[in-house]
Amino acid sequence: MLRIAAVLALLVCHVALAARAVEGDPARPMPADASTDPRVPLLKHLPAGSKLEDLQPSPIPGLYQFTQGAEISYLTADGKYFIDGSLYDMDSRENLTEVLRARARVAMIDAVPESQMLIFGPKNPLYTITVFTDVDCGYCRKLHSEMAELNRLGVRVRYMFFPRTGPNTESWKKAEVVWCSPDRNDALTRAKAGFPLDMNKTCESTPVAREYALGQSVGVRGTPAILTENGDYISGYMPPRELVQQIKDLQVAKR
């Protein structure tokens, strides 16, 4: 415990010292002149391809927030410490990091036209969810087998492909075959029910690779991965009524 306390004290000290370089105002705009921008020397500590706009002042003086897709982490202004975790407002108990993650997920999902998705929904939906799915995933198949109940409860499901086994695998090929089928929704339903697909069916382009990469950026680690309209992430299968209740609870929490 003493060792942990000492490390925390040292980190607080460094953050306080680094605060002098940032002046502690997370709303303060960054300098227009890159040569005087304090973020420039910090880029060498970050993954290749990182840009200045990926690094912004956080609510804590002397601490920057670093954004990669929906992944948020923190870097002290002197570049000495990198923090991978969530930041909470102790007054409101709000997870400030998760707010940023949700906002990033919404922006990334909204950039995908619905014409690139497979959609199952009632005429007048109450809720819309975006689901990253794998044709061969057992729990993805279970969720899809309950589509009629989900639709009856007012849930509109937008599917995007996320073959967990990655490129050049059977699941990936199945996703492409589903997309290349004349009736994609029927092909997906049949594939998830275990019916064989015509694996020779091809077409010029499919969204599988783009959606797989998007899923990685969003933070998908398993399927089904469910995102609400507000960008909340629900990991894994839930029975329809439980899923609807979870969506409602998340909506209430946002108010």
Could you list the active site residues?
134, 137, 140, 164
Cα 255 from chain centroid (whole Å): 21
Pairing of strands 63-68, 71-76: antiparallel
Give CA–CA dist 147/243, Å, rounded: 12
Pairing of strands 118-120, 94-95: unpaired
Nearest-10 crossing angle of helices 138-145, 184-192 = 120
**Burial class of residue 84 (count of CB atoms within 10 Å of its CB; 0-12, 13-18, 19+):** exposed
Radius of gyration of the chain (CA): 22
Give CA–CA dist 237/233, Å, rounded: 12
Compute the C-alpha angle 245/250/254, nearest 5°: 145
**H or E segment to which residue 218 belongs:** helix 208-218
Task: Provide the token pair at 173.
Answer: 């090929």
Site of tokens 């409602």: 248
For the beta carbon of residue 59, count every other beta carbon within 10 angstroms.
Answer: 12
Q: 3-state class of 92 per DSSP?
A: coil
- Contact partners, residue 8, CB within 8 Å, separation at least 6: none
